[in-house]
Amino acid sequence: MERPITKPPGTPVDQLDTPALVVDLDAFEANVEQVHGFFRGRAATMRPNVHSHKTPAIAHRQLAVEGAASGVAVVSVGEAEVFASAGIGDILVSMQLASAGKLARACALARTCRISLIADNEATVTAYASAATAAGVTLDILVDVQTHPHRAGAVGLGQAVALAKAIESTLGLRFVGVFTAGGPIGDGSAAELRKRDEQAVATFVATRRAIEAAGLAVTVASYGNSTHAYDVPGATDGVTEVRSGAYPLIDANHAPHCPGLTPAAKLMATINSRPELGRAITDCGQKAIGRDFGGPQVDLRPDLVAAAASAEHGLVDTLDGSPLEMAIGDHVWLIPADVSTAFALHDLVYAARSGVVEAVWPITARGAFA
């Protein structure tokens, strides 16, 4: 468990123990307003994928801003349990479940809140049905549709329609619609990426239409993984909700694809050593900021290069080896490459405004892998 020297709200962030994970509330609120504002007056809503921060206090703040859906998306039953405990009443689990134990837990949750599960094959549907009937509940099921070659999902219209029919006709299950998880942002020009997203959305909506043509009602069409292009599915007729994780906090990997959104979650680190003129060593390595999706950036300093090359040490270098003005004991602010990874490494996040701590929030769903 993380053990910082804790300081109360009202403390200037500069006095926090480091490495400290800090959310700038002004930037967070502006990001949420920007994205949710897009959805106001449209048919689709934004369902926050809260796996990106695992923090119920942040989830509630997202859901309170008009434009949001009535609930959240998570990636495991363990996460669903955490957010249900925090009072969130509508939870979509965006990974299929393949164990009787997890299904029993999902069914238990379904007694007190709305739980939606996804399926892309008939064996999974059968397992869901036997768990639901054993527990005496009815589960809302969405057909997972593949729109990226390396993601789960039913492939082809015929398979999706057959699966929807199977769900509809199975005791204990309620067919409610379709689901897809787009892939990672990927490489290519902005125009190429947009074209790819448009094609994925088109495949998704075509699947919805095929299921409707077969006589089934589709009430939910949930399109995910799209912080970088939420407006594409969000403006498409036939998509009822968009799931995005990174939009409220924005990380270094998303920032270049998301003009108008600002990094809001940063790590404050301390310079512990100045062994070379152009190099500083920080106390923020991989175990505090993550490196699974790349290295961090130094906030507001494009003239510096940061790395989390070591487990417990970070590096800050000048581009050309010229002297760096930072001294031992100074603070440096880092933007993580991937915000979800950074939150996976901390137990606490400091919420700050104008450089002063307003709240300390537990990252309650950290480690809820199962």
Q: Which is nearer to another protein, 71 or 290 (CB)?
A: 290
The closest of 318, 293, 303, 231 to 37, measured between CA atoms, is 231
- What element of type H or E holds 166? helix 157-168
Give every CB contact of residue 179 below 8 A, 6+ residues apart in sequence. Answer: 92, 94, 118, 142, 143, 144, 145, 220, 221, 222, 224
Q: Which is nearer to another protein, 65 or 357 (CB)?
A: 357
Contact 16, 267 (CB under 8 A): no
Q: How far is the CB of 76 from another protein (least distance, A)?
A: 8
Q: How far is the CB of 95 from another protein (least distance, A)?
A: 5
The closest of 174, 321, 342, 324 to 250, measured between CA atoms, is 342
Q: Which is nearer to another protein, 232 or 284 (CB)?
A: 284
Q: Which is nearer to another protein, 6 or 219 (CB)?
A: 6
Q: Which is nearer to another protein, 37 or 87 (CB)?
A: 87
Q: How far is the CB of 286 from another protein (least distance, A)?
A: 6
191 φ/ψ angles, rounded to the nearest 5 degrees: -65, -40
Pairing of strands 173-181, 139-144: parallel
Q: How far is the CB of 40 from another protein (least distance, A)?
A: 28
Q: How far is the CB of 211 from another protein (least distance, A)?
A: 18
Q: Which is nearer to another protein, 65 or 97 (CB)?
A: 97
Q: Match 């175990």 to its residue by tokens.
A: 287
CA–CA distance from 242 to each of 28, 117, 178, 203 (Å)?
19, 16, 12, 15
Distance of alpha carbon 48 from alpha carbon 59, whole angstroms:
7
Q: How far is the CB of 26 from another protein (least distance, A)?
A: 26
